[in-house]
Amino acid sequence: MAFTGATFVVFFAVTALTQGFFLPKKVCYESYGCFKQTFGLFQKLPQSPAEIGTTFHLFTRQNKQTAQNLDDTTEGTLKASNFRNSRRTIFVVHGFLENINNRWVKPMKDALLEKENCNVILVDWSKGASNPFNYLQAAGNTRLVGRQISVLIKFLISYGNNAPGSADRFYIVGFSLGAQTAGYAGSYLKARYNLMLDRITGLDPAGLGFNLVTDEFRLDKTDATFVDIIHTDANLVGTFRAVGDADFYPNGGKDQPGCRAEKGIVGKIACDHMRAPTYYIASVKGLCSWKAYPCDSYQLFQQGKCKQCTRGCSAMGYNADWHMTGKFYLKTNSQEPFCDIPLVKN
């Protein structure tokens, strides 16, 4: 799972108090630059690349099930792979206590490859996200992993088959802490290389450790040409903040239908949080329309004041309309694939 429920919240508070005052002020890691501790930032500074152990696993339609491993320095390995700059490249980034073998990661990869002829790169940073008692360290590690992704993107653009490539062919989908990682990747790509990511989709971005920080330390709409967010557990481990160009709040962004039937607090929280990648996979497969209505609040939406698409509606997920910005609301049902419930016009 992406976290440990109520116990996880307790550990977050304890580590913030006991460890936050004893952090180093700065660390530097080779080609990835330096990281400074900022006042008010509870996250710990990132561990070293060796400790985090980030690996990149390439899948294409030529190798759907067997990964080709890439890095950001070995040109021969890249040239021998099935990577092509002529295709769109989609990075998929997991969250806390996860790895690329988690239940949603490979189904998302398979759905994307079925949908389009693309390069899919699964980012495994599980060594840096695996300590259930040190969420703050995992949150801090997202800063380095984001930079590693951006350095790899520059390497792919420069040396990949059909080089040179273009940054507008790169798209990152991140879940929970992976969404915050995507934000760091986009901001560093822009700051260091003057390149802009095409798109970031944040799947219930992690809120703990990110809700009260400035844009520099969290995913926001300046990190790519288009940033869309799906909020499913906004009142607990996610965030209510509208941080993208388009923010989607299915069922108000919390308490997803069917999750109350889960046993225990951990099961209920995990269920809400995990709906974000589930909804996104369904959007890639085209299983649901995911028609979302622009509205200023969920309360107004529930009152039936936003049933018309006078400002234009957008699909949630893979087919989100880049021309539509703001907050969007929809209702879903309680059984897979959890399709949206059509609204009856007044």
Q: Go through the domains of the chain in sequence order and give each one's CATH number.
A: 5-330 (3.40.50.1820)
- Angle, in degrees to the nearest 10, between helices 264-285 and 105-115: 10
Active site residue 231: no
Identify whether the C-beta of residue 236 lies closer than 8 Å to the C-beta of residue 218.
no
Helices (H), the chain: 5-19, 49-52, 75-80, 105-115, 135-159, 177-193, 264-285, 298-302
The amino acid that residue 109 corresponds to is: K
Q: Buried (b) or exposed (e) across 284-314, using 16+ Cβ within 10 A?
A: bbeebebbbbbbeebeebeeeebeeeeeebb
Active site residue 273: yes
Greatest pairwise CA separation for the chain in angstroms: 62
CA distances from 68 to 58, 253, 313 (A): 5, 36, 39
Active site residue 187: no
The single residue of 81, 150, 176, 187 carrying the catalytic annotation is 176
The single residue of 57, 94, 231, 273 carrying the catalytic annotation is 273
pTM value is 0.92
The single residue of 198, 204, 223, 233 carrying the catalytic annotation is 204
pLDDT tens digit at each of 346 positions of the chain = 444 444 444 444 444 444 444 556 899 999 999 999 876 677 899 999 999 999 999 999 999 999 999 999 999 999 999 999 999 999 999 999 999 999 999 999 999 999 999 999 999 999 999 999 999 999 999 999 999 999 999 999 999 999 888 999 999 999 999 999 999 999 999 999 999 999 999 999 999 999 988 899 999 999 999 999 999 999 999 999 999 999 999 999 999 999 988 877 778 779 999 999 999 999 999 999 999 999 999 999 999 999 888 778 999 999 999 999 999 999 999 999 999 998 765 4
In the DSSP assignment, the letter for residue 341 is P
